[in-house]
Structure 1
Amino acid sequence: MESITKNRQSPEVLRAMIERAYGAGQVPAGDGWASELGHGWFNVAYRIRLRDGAEVVLKIAPPPAVEVMAYEHGAMSIELATLDLLRSRTAVPVPAVHFADRSRELCDADYFFMPYIDADNLGIIAETLPAAERDALMEQLGAANREINSVRGEHFGPLAGPGHATWRQAFTTMTENVLLDGERRGVDIGWEYDTVRAAVAAHADSLDEVTEACLVEWDLWASNVMVRDGRIVCVIDHERAFYGDPLMEAGFTGTQMSAAFGDPAPFMRGYGHGELTGTERTRRRLYCLYLVLIMVIETVYRGHTDTKQYDWARPRLDEAMALLGHTRR
């Protein structure tokens, strides 16, 4: 996916980064030792073959001059913190961090190295798999996601703070920040921004049911899952994590918008979650609205050269508003 947030670097800078991380003896010579991994939407990532033949991944944060959405500030620091939490407090397979550099001496952004995972991306191969195998992997994902959510925080909201005492405060602030991002760049979301604000406010009391601040990945789609031989071997891309309501996880999105986001049943079986209660459905509808607002608004911040994502997401925003009782006359 092409995006102006991708902070590509020259071979000379990449070699300097490799030397700092692994030493001069691992700096590759010749050509063909680096290739860009093009599946991501935000950071640039390179697959790199070191001089001894070992393969690693280098991930570089966006350039500081490129404006990002409010919730994306410090995304790489969030990812590094989340990886540390998951390695120390769960058995969920995540990449090790070989080296992280926040000095900005070699390039204008943070970066880190991790091992290359020799496995298939579930989001890419899912439709080629037999249904039973695909469902089994989604059940594994549900179980892994539940383990991730078992990590507790001391506040709601961003990992590093400042936090909120209640989930209602945290989520309404998160949503307001997204709306302000859209207004600042004049993004046409198809609705008056204050109408969206009113829809959130009308259902915000449903958020008060959430009293435990759980680690939420939020971006744990199949495309962030690496699989091999019928098993999940690694979960990648942890830069959107926060402390909040586990129902915000991607796997639950289809409970309210299955036509757009797929059948959630295998994920929910693996997670061990039964049918949603009325209040849970309301909360999940608010989370669907939050998701599709970002999907519409981020297209401007990413500098997309085509309208494919916007054209898909805009009708989904209408669907999310309808779930909250707002339809076009």
Structure 2
Amino acid sequence: MEFHRIERPAQAFQQPVTAGHISRISRRVLGRDAVAAVELGLGMYNTTYKVTVEGLDRPVVMRFAPEPARQFASERELMRNEYATLPYLSVIAPLMPRVVAADWSHDLIGRDYLVQTWLDGVPGPDRLPGYPRPTWTSYFRQLGEITRGVHDVRGPGFGPVAAPVYDTWSQAVTESLRQIAADLEGAGLEAADLRRAAALAAERHDVLDEITEPRLLTGDLWTVNTMLAAEAPVPTVTGVLDLDRTWWGDPAADWTIRMASRKQDERLAFWESYGEPDADPAARWRSLLYELRHLGAVRLEQHRLGQAAAVRDSYAGVAAVLAAALTGPLSRVV
């Protein structure tokens, strides 16, 4: 079998699999031999291969989760969370790859893996810059429509789709912040600021618990998780992938909403199809808590990727947001 892997340092978080693993999985799942496998550089968590299989007209994708011992508690079993979310994503099913097989047995390899259909198109970060910027509004308008459809899905409780599920939104937010802080501390990093954020979430649970209806959050949807048509005259979304950080909660807490709000540029078109965000004082205060959670998760990812300077710089950003949350009109100092 022709086999191409990305060369990474031995200590890199993303670890390859072998040609033998690909071959054995292909024979078990598809009943056919793999003839070529190329590792894709998409994503920074799972390890992904485009696999050509004997007798099939189209390639498949094999995605391998990190070994369990390498996963942080706040990022544990993300692939299983993604799989558990699929029954709730019929609203965007035409845009998503289909699952051919999911295997959590660790029989052939000591990692969870998915085999999925191949999505046509070009990764968003590669194709979008090739269009004139005025046409980007079309892309962000589509992204707003996709996100609105996902956020309209109602759930059974708060927290990660695969579990644990909490009775209240404040519990889910508080526990998430505590878990991120524990992961940072376990990695030898200071996390007193995230501990303070968790304490603030618990203290002002009443503001968080104004959110009483759990909605489905994409968790990570933005340009990097979309595929675009190769030749369309304007940016046209043909695929959405890697929704492994899905949550039940307040749509305003979604990563997509955070990214759509960060700049006053072409992405303003997002709100034309999504709808205007809530801007009352309670919603603005909750957004500060959500930003603290995002910044904590980003710090953990930066550490995982060996970006020491970015980790150091993260503390100033968290301090500024935490100060705003602690001194805002809806807060009491804790």
**2:14 alignment partner, one of 3, 6, 26:** 6
What percentage of aligned pairs have identical amino acids?
27
Higher RCO (CA < 8 A, seq sep 6+): 1
Q: Compared with structure 1, are the counterparts of its residues 135 and 255 closer, same or farther at alpha carbon in structure 2 (3 Å cutoff)?
A: closer
**For the residues of structure 2 that align with 1:80 and 1:197, how far apart are their CA atoms?**
29
**Matching of residue 236 in structure 1 with residue 238 in structure 2:** no
Q: Which of 172, 176, 183 is residue 185 of structure 2 equivalent to? A: 183
> Any stretches of 5+ residues in structure 1 without a counterpart?
none
Structure 1 pair 284–92 and aligned structure 2 pair: CA distance change class (3 A): farther
CA distance in 1, matches of 2:268, 2:204: 25
Q: Which residue, out of 24, 47, 58, partners 1:16?
A: 24
In 2, the alpha carbon distance for the partners of 1:170 and 1:275 equals 21
Q: Name the SS of the counterpart of 1:324 in structure 2.
A: helix
Which residue number in structure 1 is paired with residue 171 of structure 2?
169
Superposition pairs of residues 123-202 of structure 1, within 5 angstroms: 123-188=125-190, 192-201=193-202
Cα separation, 2, equivalents of 1:243 and 1:324: 23
The whole-number CA distance in structure 1 between the counterparts of 2:128 and 2:323 is 30
Q: Partner of 1:57 in structure 2?
A: 61
Question: Deviation digits for residues 168-207 of structure 1, max 9, x if unmatched?
Answer: 1111111111112222222135x54544344444654321
Larger mean Cα displacement after TM superposition, 71-80 or 128-137: 128-137
Distance 1:8 1:158 in 2: 27
Moved more, 284-293 or 160-169: 160-169
Amino acid at match of 1:8: P
1:298 counterpart SS class = helix
Partners of 1:256 and 1:281 within 8 A in 2: no
Residue by residue, what CA displacement relative to the aligned partner does 1:122-177 show, whole Å, maximum 9, x if unpaired? 23333342223212111111111111112211111121333211111111111111
Give, in whole Å, the separation in 1 of the partners of 2:256 and 2:222: 7
> How many residues were matched structurally?
315
Equivalent-residue separation in structure 2 for 1:241 and 1:305 (angstroms):
25
Deviations along 1:235-286, whole A, 9 cap, x unmatched? 1011111111111122321576449xx7752222221124622221111221
Q: In structure 2, how many angstroms separate the alpha carbons of the residues matched to 1:192 and 1:159?
A: 27
User: 31, 34, 47: which is aligned to 1:27?
Assistant: 34
Unaligned runs of 5+ in 2: 1-5, 328-334
Checking the alignment, whether the CA contact within 8 Å between 2:154 and 2:216 is kept in structure 1 is yes
Q: Return the alpha-carbon distance in structure 2 between the equivalents of residues 194 and 162 of structure 1.
A: 20
**Alpha-carbon offset, residue 299 of structure 1:** 3.1
**DSSP-derived class of the 1:209 partner:** coil
Distance 1:161 1:246 in 2: 18
Aligned CA distance change for structure 1 residues 309 and 237 (closer, same or farther; 3 Å):
farther
Decide whether the 8 Å contact of 1:5 with 1:63 is kept in 2: no
Cα distance change of structure 1 residues 124 and 200 upon mapping to structure 2, 3 Å threshold:
farther
Q: Could you say what secondary structure the match of 2:126 adopts?
A: helix
Q: Considering only aligned residues, what root-mean-square deviation do their CA atoms show, in Å?
A: 2.6
* Mapped pair 1:205 → 2:206: yes
CA distance in 1, matches of 2:194, 2:306: 25
Given that 1:119 and 1:226 are in contact with CA atoms closer than 8 Å, whether structure 2 keeps it comes out as yes
**Aligned mates of 2:313, 2:125 — CA distance in 1:** 18
Higher mean alpha-carbon deviation, 307-316 vs 139-148, is at 307-316
Q: Which moved more, 1:125-134 or 1:143-152?
A: 125-134
Matched, 1:269 2:272: yes
Tell me which amino acid in the other structure corresponds to 2:52: R
- Give yes or no for contact 2:151–2:216 (8 Å, CA) kept in 1: yes
Please tell me whether the aligned partners of residues 82 and 243 of structure 2 are also in contact (alpha carbons under 8 angstroms): yes
CA distance in structure 2 between the aligned counterparts of 1:58 and 1:158, rounded to whole angstroms? 24
Whether contact under 8 Å (2:222, 2:259) holds in the other structure is no
1-structure distance, mates of 2:93, 2:276 = 20
Match of 2:255 among 239, 243, 250: 250
Shift of 1:51: 1.9
Give CA deviations for 1:2-51 in whole Å, capped at 9, x if unaligned: 68442411111111111111113x431xxxx2111112111000011122
- The one-letter amino acid paired with 2:82 is E
